[in-house]
Amino acid sequence: MSDRLRIALQKKGRLADDSFALLKACGLRFSVRGGSLLVRVKNMPIDLLLVRDDDIASFVSNDAADIGIVGENVLVEEQLTSALDAQIAMKLGFSRCRLCLASPERGSVQSAADLSGTRIATTYPGVTGRFLKERGISAKLVEMKGAVELAPSIGVAESICDLVSTGATLEANGLMAFETILESEAVLIRSARDMSPEKADLFDKLMRRVEGVIKSTD
Ligand code: PRT
Ligand code: ZN
């Protein structure tokens, strides 16, 4: 890879704006307008790789980027379901949400104790499966790519395990959260591999700035 520190970021979505704002507050000068996937930081030897959030941890793990910003929920899920060589360098405090088990208000599942022998729809089979294993619960995971909140009403599952922030989506679908299985926020990740001395210096400098910005906005 090049000598420039490469940071993988979400191009568009719930992580993107706060990630850009954090790096700008750290003094990085760049413009993400236009469709470019690789954006050059004007005043430092840093490039930004703008991608889907689902690719960030694997890019960091596979040396396509040195560091990245991703939801802890996505990182933990990928750590559990694929061999990932990426670790949390710092928690960032934005894009907070909870991965929750939820079910219809008057359905057969009202708590974790009712889950045995039922079906749970989720896009997070790794984290949900870990929870079931820890609790010794035997339930079937129904993997979905999206619209998980519809699963109980269409008869695909008795409950769901999905991300919640305000709770409005659950409420709109007549669902109630009965258990939080993971608290999540945006995290800065890096690979476990050694960086060149130049990159390591730049990374340390950036980390100190990120820390300063996070402290000043607490
Ligand atoms: O296009 P790309 O693949 O990059 O983005 P994406 O659509 O996969 O992800 P995006 O941008 O929606 O979310 C990115 C990250 O933001 C997630 O991985 C979480 O770490 C974090 N985040 C924070 C959330 C939410 N809050 C959130 N509320 N991600 C998703 N949601 C969804 C949730 O899945 C549910 O459908 O919002 C709905 C619930 O929201 P409430 O407010 O109604 O409870
Ligand atoms: Zn995604």
Give residue 92's pLDDT.
98
Residue 175 CA to ligand 2 centre (angstroms): 23
CA-nearest of 18, 56, 14 to 37 is: 56
pTM summary value: 0.96
Give the range of the structural domain holding residue 176, as residue numbers without chain letter.
97-183
Over residues 57-86, mean pLDDT = 96
195: pLDDT strictly greater than 70: yes
1: pLDDT strictly greater than 70: no
Distance of CA 44 to the CA centre of its chain: 27
Give residue 35's pLDDT.
84
pLDDT category at 133 given cuts 50, 70, 90 is very high
CA-nearest of 195, 217, 208, 183 to 67 is: 195
Residue 164 and residue 83 share a domain: no
Residue 164 and residue 114 share a domain: yes
2: pLDDT strictly greater than 80: no
Give residue 218's pLDDT.
76
CATH number of the domain encompassing residue 60:
3.40.190.10
Average pLDDT over all residues of the chain: 96
Could you read off the pLDDT of 15-69 as tens digits, one per residue?
999 999 999 999 999 999 888 899 999 999 999 999 999 999 999 999 999 999 9
Give residue 33's pLDDT.
87
Residue 114 and residue 78 share a domain: no
Residue 50 and residue 155 share a domain: no
Residue 108 CA to ligand 2 centre (angstroms): 31
CA angle 24, 60, 184 (to 5 degrees): 70
Residue 124 and residue 81 share a domain: no
Residue 202 and residue 128 share a domain: no
Domain count, the chain: 2
Residue 95 CA to ligand 1 centre (angstroms): 8
Residue 190 and residue 88 share a domain: yes
**Residue written as token pair 């990120």:** 210
Q: Whose CA is nearest to atom 13 of ligand 1?
A: 14
217: pLDDT strictly greater than 90: no
Residues 106 and 117: their CA atoms lie apart, in Å, by 18
ipTM above 0.95, yes or no: yes
Give residue 63's pLDDT.
93
